[in-house]
Amino acid sequence: MRELARLFYINWVLLRHGLDEVVLATHLFRPVRFLKYLSPFYWRRRGREVPFGLRLRRALEDLGPIFVKFGQILSTRLDLLPPDVADELVKLQDRVPPFPGEQAQAVIEQALGQPVGEIFAEFDPNPLASASIAQVHTARLKSGEEVVIKVLRPGIGKVIQQDVRLLYTLARMAERYWSDGKRLRPVEVVHEMEKTLLDELDLSREAANATQLRRNFLDSDMLYVPEVYWDYVRENVLVMERIYGIPVGQVDELKRRGISMKLLGERGVEIFFTQVFRDNFFHADMHPGNIFVEADGGHRYISVDFGIMGTLTTEDQRYLAENLLAFFNRDYRRVAELHVQSEWIPKGTRVEEFEAAIRTVSEPIFEKPLSEISFGYFLLRLFQTARRFDMEIQPQLVLLQKTLLNIEGLGRQLYPELDLWTTAKPFMERWIKTQVGPRAFARRVREGLPEASEQLPEIPGLVYRVLRDATDGRLQLQWQSRQLDALRDELRAANRRTVRALSGGSLLLAGIGLNALGAGLPPWLGGWGAALAGGIGLLLLVRSLWSR
């Protein structure tokens, strides 16, 4: 009953924001499309039409935190959205009122098993920040360290499960009845969102992410990651070091303190590529609200909120690096070949045609400052071009695309003249050199020595057994293949059909012969024998033909 009421409320909000065109555009409601002219919302907005992207963003904000989060995730799918809609969804922010501090205190005490006064020397019941999944309070440990406490919203898990079920229902309806449903793959989008939300519901997972990222940049002068206090970490409570810094969006304050915007912009790009290619572990939620700059006049970033992290496989990492470097060198032939080799596009694709299409998209972006180009728009154009060649969007690259967009926005704020390509190219060239050549070979040999040393003593025995079996004529080659097994099964089935056909034909002929000679044979052999042999023979013939 509650889900039904929620569904009615969702539809009411969609209608109120003029999104009846989406519902009535489906094949299911096409016969009653005239009903929109009876809607008071239609006549209220008549003559002052609001862009679709703006209406969608406002509707998601009114529907609450889960739908806001859905819109944020959807905004990363540039391959699915028109540019104007994507630009609006990027503006979505969590505008969620905090829940009472007493309720947060009760959650903390239940999770840690002690009263707040026994754990912390100080605890502020007024939240420092509030978001869709959790809110943050400040405190001081008994040992004196200043900390922040992140607390999950009570009952948020059930709310998420309920809304995700509704989103799946809406997505399946859209896929079935909306003309663009299959192309936009809404069920796949909801599935990606569900995985992201489930990860964010486990604060112990976020703590582990923060610890790993801190270890990766422990001695770095580019990025600082706060310390996690593991004694006070639970699934719904996370205690971390409190940091003080200037929000990266406060450009005027950064300039007033004498911080170089150029250096800060370049370091942001280098941090991103270091996380992706050196560590294969990158912060995938790097919007300005999660990034600060040290307030002492240095140029070191401080990062918070580690609920969404990304990784790549070794193969994707290598292909991505080579693709980016080929883009930087304007080697579009190599880009096209890499897409075919990685099977991102079908193997039968003509490389020359794909190369020409990529060149058309890429050439306009080079030798321009970041302020004059949109990397998000470039990605969109590239996806649209690749779709013409049946390219499948790689799910493992979705978070990477989102992070690249965040880097673009950050660079525009800090140093509009920053050239993302020129800054990244030297880094990519250095990384490629570490992956190929004599040094890379020596490194791989060194890394493989422990495993090889374990297997080396067994090699003489294996060689002796192979030579002995070959000398005695007992060496056999075993070849297993799904295709070979299927062929073997088909041959066996064909043999069975042939045996049935021959047996059935023989028995049928025998029945005919017995019937012809019936006058000179005993009754039990002439009449009944002929009928039985003929019937069995006919049955075998029919079975052999039916099983083909």
pLDDT in tens, 32-80: 454 555 555 555 555 456 787 888 888 887 887 677 777 776 665 555 5
3-state SS record for 282-293: EECCCCHHHEEE
Mean pLDDT of the chain, nearest integer: 75
Mean pLDDT, residues 195-216 taken together: 91
> Residues 369, 300: one domain?
yes
Other Cβ atoms closer than 10 A to 468: 11
Query: Which residue segment(s) compose the domain that 106 sits in?
Result: 100-152+202-242
> Residues 235, 250: one domain?
no
Q: In which band, very low, low, confident or very high, does the pLDDT at 439 lie, cut at 50, 70 and 90?
A: low
Q: In which band, very low, low, confident or very high, does the pLDDT at 207 lie, cut at 50, 70 and 90?
A: very high
**pLDDT for the residue 52:** 79
Report the interhelical angle of 351-362 vs 375-387 (nearest 10°). Answer: 160
When mean pLDDT is compared across 237-251, 367-381, 406-420, 423-437, the lowest value belongs to 367-381
Structure tokens that stand for 373 in this block: 């180009």
**pLDDT for the residue 240:** 97
**pLDDT for the residue 185:** 67
> Residues 510, 523: one domain?
yes
> Residues 280, 166: one domain?
no
Q: Is residue 337 situated within a structural domain?
A: yes
Number of domains into which the chain is organized: 5
pLDDT for residue 510 is more than 60: no
Mean pLDDT, residues 477-495 taken together: 61
Q: In which band, very low, low, confident or very high, does the pLDDT at 326 lie, cut at 50, 70 and 90?
A: confident
Distance CA 98, CA 185 (A): 34
Q: Is residue 77 situated within a structural domain?
A: yes
| Cα distances (angstroms) measured from residue 83 to each of 220, 262, 345, 357, 377 | 37, 29, 23, 20, 7
**pLDDT for the residue 435:** 73
> Residues 180, 193: one domain?
yes
% of the chain surpassing 70 pLDDT = 64
> Residues 263, 345: one domain?
yes
Q: Is residue 426 situated within a structural domain?
A: yes
Q: Is residue 372 situated within a structural domain?
A: yes
Structure tokens that stand for 345 in this block: 């596009």
Q: Is residue 476 situated within a structural domain?
A: no
Strand partners, 292: 247, 302
pLDDT for residue 146 is more than 70: yes
Q: Is residue 477 situated within a structural domain?
A: no
Q: Angle at CA 323, nearest 5°, toward 320 and 324?
A: 85
What would the pLDDT profile of 121-134 be if each residue is shown by its tens digit? 999 999 998 887 89
> Residues 87, 191: one domain?
yes
| Pairing of the two strands 237-241 and 223-224 | unpaired
Identify the burial level of 133 via C-beta atoms within 10 angstroms of its C-beta, where 0-12 means exposed, 13-18 middle and 19 or more buried.
Answer: buried
> Residues 51, 182: one domain?
yes
pLDDT for residue 210 is more than 80: yes
Distance CA 409, CA 96 (A): 24
Q: Which residue has the higher pLDDT, 436 or 279?
A: 279
% of the chain surpassing 90 pLDDT = 18
> Residues 425, 507: one domain?
no
> Residues 328, 385: one domain?
yes
pLDDT for residue 528 is more than 60: no
Q: Is residue 118 situated within a structural domain?
A: yes
> Residues 289, 415: one domain?
yes
Prediction pTM value? 0.69
Distance CA 537, CA 510 (A): 9
Q: Which residue has the higher pLDDT, 347 or 273?
A: 273
Beta carbons within 8 Å of 299's beta carbon, 6+ residues apart: 221, 222, 259, 260, 263, 264, 267, 293
**498-512 per-residue burial string, b: 16 or more CB within 10 A, e: under 16:** eebeeebeebbebbe
When mean pLDDT is compared across 28-37, 140-149, 529-538, the lowest value belongs to 28-37
> Residues 349, 236: one domain?
no
SS3 at position 106: helix
**pLDDT for the residue 188:** 75
Structure tokens that stand for 35 in this block: 């009903």
Residue 134 is part of a domain; what is its CATH number?
Answer: 3.30.200.20
**Catalytic residue numbers, as ranges:** 285
Q: Is residue 385 situated within a structural domain?
A: yes
Highest mean pLDDT among 52-56, 90-94, 513-517: 52-56
